[in-house]
Amino acid sequence: MSSESGIPRYSVAELNQAIGSLLERGFAPRFLLEATVSRPQLKKGHLWLTLVDEQASISAVVWASQRERLSYQPSEGDGVIVVGKLNFWAARANLCVQVLDVRPALSAVLRQFERVCGLLEPEGLLAAERKRPLPAMPKAVALLTSVPSSALADMLRTARERWPETRLHVVPIPVQGPVVAQIRSRLEEVIAAASTLGLEAIVLARGGGSREDLAVFDDEQLARDLAACPIPVVTGLGHEDDTTVADLVADYRAATPTAAIVALLPDRATLRMGLQQKRSMLRQVLHHRLQQERGQQEHRRQRLLQLHPQALLDRQRERLRHRLELLKALSPQHMLERGYALVRGNDGRVLRSTNNLNPGDAIHLELVDGKIDAVVEQVQQQR
């Protein structure tokens, strides 16, 4: 209503109703609000809290019916992202945010991550030295993941392609919201049955999602369960850039669920190629060894032939023949046959020089077919 001066005049109820109408017309029916939780209180099943940032605050409420459906219950100091709408009570001009959904903000998730790491690191649970090697060709593996899910489908397909001989035991687990107790329970069941099932490794996997969605894997007790697991644990949680506490305590952290299977199972195509190469190398080695053995056998055979009595006798005869030929070539008889004569003095000694030989001396000549007696008439010496 208007006054005579043109200034609007309201009753309290009218003013409050006008404010409520203005808010309804001018504000989105739903919005996202990033804030920090302050002073959360439960009253008659309803969760009352204050949402604050560095400059302002506003009251908020999660009605009991809605609180029961939330997957995450905020605590004091938690950074949160709220899906909400404005509630305005005209009777008291009271304004608050009605929370329709809430999830932890990244800052809260990282703070929880750092807190748990700070507890586990002094105990050596994050140390690289305690991590065990993965089995080379596991006969059985347990897959703890959401069922059904694209992550599971990818892991099963990859396992069939790489190494179908491994038995995969799929263990369904919830992966969203406050489900730590359920995950720990299923993990405990798997560990208890590991010996019976012949399990050699456990894969804890979750596909995609934001880092906030992976907050369940930052739980301290879950991390301790994984660290105490008697068989190797492989994690494949979220994306390549995401790292949770579970990743840090696991024996092997894979970037994705599919990468976890790749790390755990051998690739039969690669192994087949390797075996073919080894077979080829073995054939070459055997061929080379056989050639060596054949060469050695031939050498031994030739050696035996050389040591045969007949061969020894033949060689001895050949040596004797050579010696006889040499003796014959060096004998005076051979020289005589070539036309030379052997000259002896009167005393019977062979004359090798004209020295001491004078005219009138008697000499004796030996030819190939007889002897000649002669007298020296003249001695001519070479100068």
| Tokens (6 digits) for 67 | 């609180």
12-104 belongs to which homologous superfamily?
Answer: Nucleic acid-binding proteins (2.40.50.140)
At 184-205, the pLDDT tens digits run 999 999 999 999 999 999 999 9
Report the sign of the C-alpha dihedral through residues 9, 12, 14, 17, in that order: positive
Residue-level pLDDT at 55: 85
- CA–CA dist 97, 35 (Å, integer): 12
Domain ranges for the chain: 12-104, 110-266, 341-375
- Residue 55 DSSP SS3: coil
Print burial letters for 88-116: b (CB count within 10 Å at least 16), e (below 16).
bebeeeeebbebbbbbbbeebbbbbbeeb
Residue-level pLDDT at 383: 64
Residue-level pLDDT at 138: 96
Residue-level pLDDT at 2: 52
- CA–CA dist 255, 208 (Å, integer): 11
**Which residue reads 């799929």 in tokens?**
170
Residue-level pLDDT at 135: 96
At 17-27, the pLDDT tens digits run 888 888 877 77
The single-letter DSSP state of residue 93 is T
**Which residue reads 């669920």 in tokens?**
257
DSSP letter for each residue of 215-275: GGGG-HHHHHHHHT-SS-EEEEES-TT---HHHHHSSEEESSHHHHHHHHS--HHHHHHHH
Q: Which segments in the chain show pLDDT lower than 70?
A: 1-5, 383
110-266 belongs to which homologous superfamily?
Answer: Response regulator (3.40.50.2300)
Q: What are phi and psi of 157, to 5 degrees?
A: -65, -45
**Of 85, 83, 48, nearest to 64 (Cα)?**
48
| Tokens (6 digits) for 380 | 């001519």
Let me know if 230 is exposed, middle or buried by CB neighbors in 10 A (0-12, 13-18, 19+).
exposed
The single-letter DSSP state of residue 123 is G
Let me know if 9 is exposed, middle or buried by CB neighbors in 10 A (0-12, 13-18, 19+).
exposed
